[in-house]
Structure 1
Amino acid sequence: MKKPLIGASAALLLAGATALTGAAPAAAATRAPAAVTVSYAGTVALSNCSGSVVRMPGSATTDPALVLTNGHCLETGMPDPGRVIVNQSSSRSFTLLSSTGSGLGTLRATKVVYSTMTDTDVTLYQLNTTYASIKSRYGISPLTISASHPTAGASIKVVSGYWKRTYSCSVDGFVYRLKEGGWTWKDSVRYTSACNTIGGTSGSPVIDTATGLVAAVNNTGNEDGETCTENNPCEVDANGAVTVRKGINYAEETYGIPACFAAGNRLDLTLAGCTLPKP
């Protein structure tokens, strides 16, 4: 991870707050699907991290809007290993960005719907406004969280609202366990080396360029080649073997989040198929 940023020159600690079916017919197989246009629209800048206004596949325009970022970007401090926070009051503000990265206005949270650094590294805020109201006032639609597991080799973009910078690379693979300090994350996304994300990019949406959907949330990277220390996550396979990849960055998958939300964007950790850690 890169520690939440206090200012642009602050030291880094975590990756932010300071990472088919069958064969196609022969005629179509020669044409790759056209990539969607990825911009800053729908992203937000936090005081120390990046984030995005997101919806679930089944969210309605009249639902209260949600903002996705990292667990380690939480304004009250990084959740300890094993801790899960739900429905905690918050008045945090976010700068909503246009497609070109200019600030359009301020959005404000009413609560932290969910936050943890156990198994994953996510915070979801509920705003005091709806998707329809944001669209009407700013012309911005939310990004949609994919309900499908990301694919190895997929082309992705990591879009940082904090730095107004976009990183382009591919999904290099998946990590059985990613360990950093006292935290352990499951089935993390490993980027190819072109996504050399830095502090302040934590919480950035990782967008699949073939679908335009959010596939993961950027959270960490190994900065110094150390093993399993803060700022230096290590990969642990199913047999316990440890691999260190200096300079490589990571994200946490988000496809499991929609299964934990009922109608009205209401968090329900008891829903069938919901695998997010529980308090």
Structure 2
Amino acid sequence: MNKPLAAAVLSVLLTGAAVTPAVAAPRQEQAAPAVAVTYAGTVALSNCSGSVVRTPASQPNDPALVLSNGHCLETGFPAAGEVVKDRASSRSFSLLNASGSRVATLRASKIAYATMTDTDVAIYQLTSTYAQIQSRYGISALTLDDAHPVQGTPVKVVSGYWKRTYSCNVDGFVYRLKEGEWTWKDSVRYTSSCNTVGGTSGSPVIDTTTGKVVAVNNTGNEDGGRCSVNNPCEVDEAGNVTVRQGINYAQQTYLVVPCVGPGNVIDLNRAGCALPKP
């Protein structure tokens, strides 16, 4: 898992801007322009990254939510099969603006939901509403996409902990991703340029064509090990195991959306909610 062990050297790729010709050219189909992805709305935890998020149905006066990984909990890793629900927490989060500067400290009221079973997710409920965060700091929450991401989608992994952004594409989806005692379903596999490091756990994975969060960054195979901690392996439907050293992964977040009811309450009995229950 991408724990904050040490800083990694990050290569920066500079791309030249396209120049529009001065003369008329035949009309061609063009890809949708990329959304400007910044650090606004991301947060730094004591040991991980995260983001202030909303569902498409969240309201301005709802208590705001912070998304991170289950393995980033201040209480330690949940065991395989364990689900944390509505546990009191006063954890603090450093809220970042577009340039990555800290503008505020947000405070949790509880761990609304967390698990490392089937997925690796933690959702904190804050003492502030979206409207309060917007009015005080001028920062809006990131929106969770309610649809399954698509292979080939360009994404950015935005780490509030390191204030670094990684750009790549969704390379594919993993039937089962195994790491130590934990197993995750339908994980996102990145192309190799998202070479995330310790401390990037919990970073939002943002679709650059929509600006919406499609996954939460959580792990990578560091040493070429097979299915061990920090060395997850891929398992297909036939049980075949594949190890991809240096490749990193995320957990899809569209599954969270049906589980969030009015008032941003996590309700695991809502129609369409498939998150594991306690």
Q: TM-score, normalized by length of structure 2?
A: 0.92
Shift of 1:249: 0.2
Task: Structure 1: state its 5+ residue gaps.
Answer: 10-26
Alpha carbons 2:119, 2:184 under 8 Å: kept: yes
1:72-94 superposed Cα distances (whole Å, 9 cap, x missing partner): 00000000000000000000000
Query: Where does residue 199 of structure 2 map in the other structure?
Result: 200
Shift of 1:28: 7.9
- Does the residue aligned with 1:256 lie in a helix, a strand or coil? helix
Whole-Å Cα distance in 2 between the matches of residues 179 and 62 of structure 1?
39
Query: Where does residue 60 of structure 1 map in the other structure?
Result: 59
Query: Where does residue 91 of structure 2 map in the other structure?
Result: 92
Query: Where does residue 118 of structure 1 map in the other structure?
Result: 117
Which AA in structure 1 matches 2:208?
T
Alignment of 1:1-20 (within 5 A): 1-3=1-3, 5=4, 8=6
Shift of 1:175: 0.2
Query: Where does residue 48 of structure 1 map in the other structure?
Result: 47
Query: Where does residue 231 of structure 1 map in the other structure?
Result: 230
Query: Where does residue 217 of structure 2 map in the other structure?
Result: 218
Whole-Å Cα distance in 1 between the matches of residues 99 and 128 of structure 2?
23
Alpha carbons 2:6, 2:198 under 8 Å: kept: no
Identity, in percent, stands at: 68
Whole-Å Cα distance in 1 between the matches of residues 149 and 77 of structure 2?
26
Query: Where does residue 249 of structure 2 map in the other structure?
Result: 250
Pick closer, same or farther for the CA change 1:28–1:183 going to 2, 3 Å.
farther
Q: TM-score, normalized by length of structure 1?
A: 0.92
1:227-253 superposed Cα distances (whole Å, 9 cap, x missing partner): 000000000000000000000000000
Alignment of 1:20-31 (within 5 A): 30-31=29-30
Which AA in structure 2 matches 1:173?
G
1:112-138 superposed Cα distances (whole Å, 9 cap, x missing partner): 000000000000000001000000000
Whole-Å Cα distance in 1 between the matches of residues 221 and 116 of structure 2?
17
Shift of 1:29: 6.6
Pick closer, same or farther for the CA change 1:8–1:222 going to 2, 3 Å.
closer
Whole-Å Cα distance in 2 between the matches of residues 222 and 275 of structure 1?
27
For the aligned residue pairs, the C-alpha RMSD in angstroms reads 1.4
Shift of 1:2: 2.8
1:135-194 superposed Cα distances (whole Å, 9 cap, x missing partner): 000000000000000010000000000000000000000000000000000000000000
Query: Where does residue 38 of structure 1 map in the other structure?
Result: 37
1:53-84 superposed Cα distances (whole Å, 9 cap, x missing partner): 00011000110000000000000000000000
Query: Where does residue 150 of structure 1 map in the other structure?
Result: 149
Alpha carbons 2:221, 2:230 under 8 Å: kept: yes
Task: Structure 2: state its 5+ residue gaps.
Answer: 8-25
Whole-Å Cα distance in 1 between the matches of residues 222 and 214 of structure 2?
24
Pick closer, same or farther for the CA change 1:77–1:103 going to 2, 3 Å.
same
Whole-Å Cα distance in 2 between the matches of residues 29 and 203 of structure 1?
39
Query: Where does residue 129 of structure 1 map in the other structure?
Result: 128
Shift of 1:30: 1.4
